[in-house]
Structure 1
Amino acid sequence: MNKSQRMQGRRAAGFIAPWVLAVSASLIAACSGDSPEQLVIAAKANIAKHDNKAAVIQLKSALQRNGSLAEARFLLGKALLESGDVSGAMIELNKALELGYDSNELTPVLAAAMVLRGEGAKLIAQYGATDLANAKSTAELKAALASAHAVAGNLDLARKSAEQALKLDPENQGALLMQVRLLTISKDFDAALKVIDKAVGANPKSAAVWLVKGDLLRAMRRSPEEQLAVFREAVNVDPGNVGAHVAVITVLSQQKDFEGAARQLKLLQAQQPGHPQTRYYAALLALESKDLKEANEQIQALLKIAPNSASALQLAGEIDIRRGAYLQATASLHKALPLTKAPAASVRIPLAQAYLGSKDPAKALSVLKPLLDTSNPPAQAHSLAADAYTSLGNTKLAQESYRRAVATNPNDMAARTMLALAQIHGGQAAQGFGDLQAISSTDPGVAAELALFKAYLSKGEFDKARQAVDSLERKKPTDPLSADLRGWLELLKGNRDKARDAFELAMKRAAGDITAAMMLGRLDLQDGKPEPALRRFERVLQADPKAVDARMSIIVLRAQAGASADEQQRLILEAIKLHPSEPAPRIAQINALLEAGQPRDAVVAAQAAIQAVPDNASLIDLLGRSQMLAGDATAASQAYGQLAKLQPNSALAAIRQAELHATLKDTRSAISQLRRALEIVPDNLDVQSALVGLLAVDGKSGEARSIIASMQAKQPQNAAVWDVGGDLESYLRNFPAAVAAFQTSLKKHDSAETAIKLHRVLLSSGKRDEARNFEEAFLARWTKDSTFLSYLGDAALGAGDYEQAVRRYVQVIKLQPDHVAALNNLGWALQKAGKPGALDYVERALKIKPDSADILDTHASILASEKRFDAAIESQKRAVALAPAQHQLRLHLAQYYLATGKKEQARTELSKLLEAGDQFGQQDEVKKLLGSM
């Protein structure tokens, strides 16, 4: 056996040995002649030696032979509790209770388990007035009750329970330690030290005693070194003691020694891998290191064994907020709320943050109200309330809340800055700008400068915005931020060269500055120089090889520079290989496959992505979309069901299910799903709009109009609401009402999108003169807008007015020389009008977007019209390869083959179209062409 084989053998032995030993112990116990009673006796001996693992095996073996052994159930529950398996302990202790085991022994252990499981309130309700026959047992129960009262914040009741325990048993360690904790809370440190030193002298091998002493030293603000020495003594005394490890982790974390804390966590995980506290601190440290996936996995594992733990639920909420899973955060934090003593600021503040994150400011205010109604609300509660009022558009109350936040904590520069901004937006500009200048002069931070920059920029006061940047640069002369802002400012002023200089300076200050690289890349592309842009992002990657954004920007730039679809996929796969747990490259891969008309390949990519990045809502959403486009409605429905489980309070899954049902023409099921979505997001405009449309399709125009009336009453100034009304009336062919709705929308907000809708309705209702007058008036207002012009070109093209289409597309291209759709359509219109230059415009479009099947189809059509069939066939073959599901492209290819007498090639393509069946609506044409051959 060589060295490598020996090493592999050792590793294998190391992996297998614990399993073999456990199985062997079980087999020996099972195969021996020991009776269940003898196994219980042996287990007791192992418990006395603190060998709980062996005891658990023996007790389980005894219970396999005789499940009604009450003592075995009790001992197993006690051993599991000491091993950290609280849930397993509760099961066995409750079974022992059902079997009638002695309550004097059982009740104190069950009480301790209930406290650890977070069921203190239940313990108090069930056993608060219970006295046991044995004084020592009653003392242990009272000590557990003292802990439950203390956790609930009822310190007087905790003190009373501890005193009762000590009267019954003056040496009861739990009660003594509770007494120390209560003296510590009341800051009677001298008395607390006397009690704890006495306890240490009496029980130097008790980890619990050392732990309480460490807590006391922490409360007395003794040095971290003194605290660590005591907590580490607790670990030395009992290496399996979870609390001792946790105390060391806590002190190290407070000292920002996260590496040391992580090392201590590994020691804890080796001793107690499944203990709730192990899970909790694993989640906490993962959150600190920004490993949100690990943090979420650990906290979810903890909630399975301690579903009613307020601290676990609170941490779960905070992790979800960081993950952006706001609706899951609200679910966890709402569950924690009744488990936390009022007013529960530690829960209400993150819960309000979650509601603000999910764009629900009204609920954020509702959650904050009990805090704000107290005599001394925390400053953060006022700040969050101000944020909520700002979102609701109530600047007056926002200002008042910011003022209260500043009054509560005058040193809160963020609150002072936000108050000044609220004053600016609330009509007190002079006061607001003055306050921001004052903050800027005294605060070493740069929040005020950033606020001033943004505020002056919005007012078009560029010189004053520059002064804010100057101030920021004086505070942070080596920071790239000031150079980035200066670059933005120069761009807005039209000074591209100065902007470039500023962004170049930012990259000199920080080679990994993604903002500067992006802006310089954009300038390079505008100058027709993609290579310098690519080199910039490559330098960002050299500075930070983990910069996923930079890598994805390179892929986008290569696509814009004309990279083929295969080249883009190669780059995306390379990014996935380098960043396997990052969702961004995988999302890009799936989207690229969908855009290429390859939904089945997208399904495979999405499944692989979810395996690598589980529980990612965006990836699961894309899987469902890919499956839907691939025609697998059942699988898509399952994916959206998985999305609903992942985000139970999210409307997204219901919306996706509605889209799926609508695709399958199951309108009523789609409506049902949208109603469900509105229960979650009652005022969501997109969902309301979709529901209105489906109700109209289902013949329920009255209900649709009722919803729109409610929307308009709630948001009369929101132009989008009036657009929805116009869309409905247009669908119902009630053109006068549609015109009125779109005109109202344009008065609220002048936009090209609404102008297009109004123009269409005017034409549909036969009012061509009105349409022409509106067209001229809108173009006079929007002289630099290409959207409306492009629409006019499309409308003319659809109506066969090729001269007018050419005129409009030329106008678009003057405004946007690289407008791909306009270049392509202009080529098509010129060909149809019999004018020269068609091919030149389409080839310009192909240079910008070389892998567009639609542009290649136009290109082939123009070549065929010029009798250049061989070249047309090559272009059309590329179009078919890029979008094989677009059957019209294949039909055109067959027609070109026939035009050149290549009947066999034509037959091959037409046969494929026959196989498509109902998926291609021109089967008569296919059969006709086949017949002609």
Structure 2
Amino acid sequence: VASARREIDRAIAAGPDSVESWLMKGELDLAMERMDAAQMSFERALAIAPDLTGARIGIVRSLLGQKKGAEARAAIDALRMELPDHPVIYYLDGLLAHQRGELEGARASLRSVLSLQPDHSPTQLLLGQISYVLGDLNEAAGLLTKHVNANPWHIVSRKLLGAVYLRLNSPERAVAVLAPAMGEGGGDPEYLSLLGTAHVRSGNIEMGLELHDRATELAPRDVRLRTQAAIGRLAGGQRELAFGELEAIVRDTPEYQIAELGLILAHLRSGSFERAGKSATDYTSNHPDSAQAWSLLGVVQERQGEPGSARDSFNRAIGLGDPGFLARLNLARLELIEGDLDAARSHYEHVLSSEPSNAAALVGLAALSFGADEEDKGLGLLEQARMHNKSAVAPRLILGDYYMQRGRAETALEVAREVERIDPKHEGAAILVARALLGYAPAEAAASEIGELAERFATSPHLFYLLATAHARLDRLGDAEQALQRALELRPDFVLAHTGLGGVAIQKGDEDAALAVAARLMRDYPELPAGHLLRGEVLLATGDYEGALSANEAAFELAPTGTHVLKIYAVQTQMGDPAAARRTLESWLSDNPDDMQVLLVMAWVQSRAGETDAAAENYGRVLKLDPDNTHAQISLAWIYHRQGDPRAVELAEAAYKGQSDDLSLADAFGWILVRNGQVERGLQLLEQALRGAPDNDDRRYRRAYAFARLGR
């Protein structure tokens, strides 16, 4: 640098009017962070060549470096007059907004740069950093990956990308990004600490702890790195050593709150509530004006079974400002536990008044809406949380479960895939994917992917249960039994897996084995209906209808639900007593008029009995509860079609659009179109349906009828 400066000074002495020399001097001053000198150099260049855009851009960069925001703003606006929509203007706008802490504004400007110049590396780096801070981790990962690929030597972007992957819970990818820079970063303690954390979280504990040790040797007074090393020791099972190090950091550096926070959380995770309580109390003593300290004390007190003390601590935190709303959200949860729904709603709404996209508050309000039978409102809140929180897992898992309960497996799978991308190691996401595959994908494909998930999450009993379900559907009963046994090895009290073994025995024709499983369930879990339900299923399969009815009634007594009502209805129907079966449905609906499962069956019964008006009314009730219910849509469409009501077309189309891959819906919608005069369009759908079942006589007749209408 000194040599370069001497050469430039000699060039200026030889030719003081050399624009190039002054520009080079300005760039060198910028690189050395001598911002005032850089400004003077660029101004000299501009004095020589008043129209020199490069000098004017250099002046703006110098002003930004000196944090002279107002002057920089004026200079940028002047440049914009000459260079409208030029990427450099948007880049300078982004730099200024970032400097002022206006991250969303900076983000918008920098995105404009990339729309015009996609490979602009400085923008990729800065926008990646901003996206990381704003929590848009997927965007950050994409931008920083491009920057690293274009600048493989750039240690800063590698470190930032590694941090992104750690927050995305992808430590293996963090290792892959960070490890190649060991040559450049081997002397950088922050780099070593990041790589150490990535190795620890990837399961390579020994290597991770070695890297943490190297980092703290290089920077023994850096409490951030010492804290990360202690957390690494916790993961490696060195609990007491880690606790000792965290306590030492707290003692030596009481102003560094992250170590105190880490110590309390570590005690909580290890179940050491007494030690957590002492650490949390010390935290509030050291930082009596910290809302975070009081919030955390409240969390500990609640875990210790002291809700009154927890409430006092949360209110103290709220009085101190409660940044992040940790206290208010926990207080809302306490209100829910104690049954004060209005107070909980008030807390959630207060959070949203300041932060409309807060995922926890949106999810909380959604739960209250579902509890009040306001399904549309609850669904809207969850979708809002999903849209505005691109890395939030909780609203997506709840949404996915909601869609599964409504029979919308394809939509549930889409949501589950989002969670997989956000957190590839999230077991809940894998379970949701497996459930959705069972409801949507072809049986063989579902079994294959669920098998892969069970291998990845080898300690998940739920995934092995779902794998068994997939095998059973393909009549691979030995594989199903093996998967269920594995689920029970992982969780011996997994009632669903016990029931599954009974179901496999029924499929094998081994009723005695199935009855033995049912007897064990009734003995070991007398408070649950599972044993009675399994016994009822076995007896029904063997033709013992009275016994099956008695077993299902016993299950209903333990758990009076619509699902169990339908089992009783099914047995009564097979017994040849449709009147009793209908009374069972009517009795349940008199007290539970919004049970959609039972409403759908009741509507079907009424339709079969020729009571079309009553059936239409019940299908309409279902659609008020669930406007996208495909079964109700197509069933009501058929009723309207038979009545000559043109609303049949609209309903059939809605059903088809909801599940356009369902050939039976294509057939129904196509036929309704043909009979309502839209023959060409209807014929296309009828042919689509027939291609899936070329030997189906009904579908062949309907296509022939459409041909005849067209004179073909």
Structure 2 length-normalised TM: 0.67
2:243 maps to amino acid: F
Task: Indicate the residue corresponding to 2:220 in structure 1.
Answer: 410
1:536 aligns with 2:347: yes
| 2:117 counterpart letter in structure 1 | L
- CA contact 1:302–1:312 (8 Å) conserved in 2: no
Residue in structure 1 matched with residue 698 of structure 2 by the alignment: none
Matched, 1:912 2:654: no
Match status 1:362 vs 2:168: no
Check 1:892–1:731 CA distance in 2 against 1; reply closer, same or farther (3 A cut). Answer: closer
In structure 2, what residue type is equivalent to 1:761? V
Q: Contact between 1:742 and 1:758, CA under 8 Å: does it hold in 2?
A: yes
Ranges in structure 2 where 5+ consecutive residues have no aligned partner: 425-429, 573-579, 654-663, 676-712
Match of 1:747 in 2: 489
Equivalent residue for 1:76? none
- Deviates further, 229-238 or 855-864: 855-864
- Unpaired runs of 5+ residues, structure 1, are 1-181, 600-621, 630-639, 644-649, 656-677, 679-683, 813-821, 898-903, 928-933
Deviation of residue 266 (structure 1)?
3.5
Flag the 1:242–1:227 CA change in 2: closer, same or farther, 3 A.
Answer: same
Give the alignment partner of residue 117 of structure 2, picking from 303, 307, 317: 303
3-state SS of the aligned residue for 1:460? coil
For residues 631-670 of structure 1, what are the structure 2 equivalents within 5 Å?
none
- 1:842 is displaced (CA, Å) by 6.1
Give 1:198's match in structure 2, choosing from 6, 10, 13: 13
Residue in structure 2 matched with residue 878 of structure 1 by the alignment: 621
- Deviation of the 1:431 alpha carbon: 0.9
| CA gap 1:778/1:517 in 2 versus in 1, 3 angstroms | farther
The separation in 1 between residues aligned to 2:322 and 2:457, in whole angstroms, is 47
Measure, in 2, the Cα distance between the counterparts of 1:262 and 1:791: 73
Counterpart of 1:424 in structure 2 is 234
Q: How many Å apart are 1:183 and its aligned residue?
A: 2.6
Q: Contact between 2:443 and 2:470, CA under 8 Å: does it hold in 1?
A: no
Count of residue pairs brought into register by the alignment: 628
Q: How far 1:438 sits from its partner (Å)?
A: 0.6
Partner of 2:280: 469
CA contact under 8 A between 2:370 and 2:378: conserved in structure 1? Answer: no
Greater CA radius of gyration, 1 or 2?
Answer: 1
Query: Would the alpha carbon gap of residues 526 and 427 (structure 1) be closer, same or farther in structure 2, given more than 3 Å must change?
Result: closer
The equivalent of 2:269 in structure 1 is 458
CA contact (8 A) 2:603 2:619 kept: yes
Aligned to 1:518: 329
1:495 alignment counterpart: 306
1:813-892 to 2 correspondences below 5 Å: 823-825=561-563, 853-854=596-597, 877-883=620-626, 886=629, 889=632
| 1:457-486 alpha-carbon deviations (Å, 9 max, x no partner) | 122111111122223323432332223222
Q: Is the 8 A contact 1:891 1:913 kept in 2?
A: no
1:352 counterpart residue number: 162
Matched with 2:89 is: 278
Q: Partners of 1:807 and 1:326 in 2: how far apart?
A: 51
Determine the structure 1 residue equivalent to 2:108.
Answer: 294
Task: Answer yes or no: is the 8 Å Cα contact 2:634–2:651 preserved in 1.
Answer: no
Amino acid at match of 2:622: A
Report sequence identity in percent.
Answer: 19
Question: Separation in 1 of the partners of 2:619 and 2:264?
Answer: 53
**Which residue of structure 1 aligns with residue 200 of structure 2?**
390
Shift of 1:910: 11
Match of 1:381 among 181, 191, 197: 191
Deviation, 1:432, is 0.9
Residue of structure 2 in register with 1:436 after alignment: 246
Which whole-Å CA distance do the structure 2 matches of 1:519 and 1:202 have between them?
68
Which digits, 9 at most, give the CA deviation of each residue in 1:49-81, with x for residues without a partner? Answer: xxxxxxxxxxxxxxxxxxxxxxxxxxxxxxxxx
Q: Distance in 2 between matches of 1:208 and 1:540?
A: 57
Aligned 8 A contact 1:295 1:319 in 2? no
- Give, as a single letter, the amino acid of the residue that structure 2 aligns with 1:734: R
SS in 1 for 2:103: coil
Which whole-Å deviations, capped at 9, do the CAs of 1:158-192 have from their partners, x for residues lacking one?
Answer: xxxxxxxxxxxxxxxxxxxxxxxx4376xx7xx47
- TM-aligned CA deviation for residue 417 of structure 1: 1.5
Contact 1:420–1:435 (Cα < 8 Å) also in 2: yes
The reply on whether 1:183 has 2:2 as its aligned counterpart is yes
Task: Give, in angstroms, the shift of residue 369 of structure 1.
Answer: 2.8
C-alpha separation between the residues in 1 aligned to 2:489 and 2:433? Answer: 24
Q: 1:780 to 1:770 in 2, by over 3 A?
A: same
Amino acid across the alignment from 1:741: A
Deviation at 1:503, TM superposition (A): 2.5
What residue identity is the alignment partner of 1:737?
D
Q: Report the secondary structure of 1:377's partner residue.
A: coil
Moved more, 743-752 or 773-782: 773-782
CA distance in 1, matches of 2:431, 2:380: 39
Deviation at 1:433, TM superposition (A): 0.7
Query: What is the 5 A alignment of 1:228-239?
Result: none
Alpha-carbon separation, structure 1, partners of 2:364 and 2:432: 33
Equivalent in the alignment of 1:764: 507
Single out whichever of 482-491 and 800-809 deviates more from structure 2: 800-809
2:326 is aligned with what amino acid?
Answer: T
**What is the distance in 1 between the residues matched to 2:525 and 2:336?**
26
CA distance in structure 2 between the aligned counterparts of 1:369 and 1:335, rounded to whole angstroms: 17
After TM superposition, give the deviation of residue 216 of structure 1 in Å.
Answer: 3.1
Shift of 1:496: 2.9
The alignment status of 1:269 with 2:83, answered yes or no, reads: no
**Cα separation, 2, equivalents of 1:747 and 1:782:** 18
Q: Give, as a single letter, the amino acid of the residue that structure 2 aligns with 1:426.
A: G
Contact 2:26–2:37 (CA under 8 A) maintained in structure 1: no
Task: Give yes or no for contact 1:506–1:513 (8 Å, CA) kept in 2.
Answer: no
Distance 1:727 1:863, change over 3 A: closer
Q: Give, in whole Å, the separation in 1 of the partners of 2:502 and 2:347.
A: 45
- Decide which of 296, 314, 319 is 1:508's aligned counterpart: 319
Indicate whether 1:209 and 2:25 are aligned.
no
Counterpart among 697, 721, 735 of residue 477 in structure 2: 735
Shift of 1:759: 4.4
Describe the shift of the 1:711–1:654 C-alpha distance in structure 2 as closer, same or farther (beyond 3 A). closer
Code of the aligned partner of 1:404: R
Of residues 793-802 and 759-768 in structure 1, the stretch that sits farther from structure 2 once superposed is: 793-802
Correspondence for 1:156: none
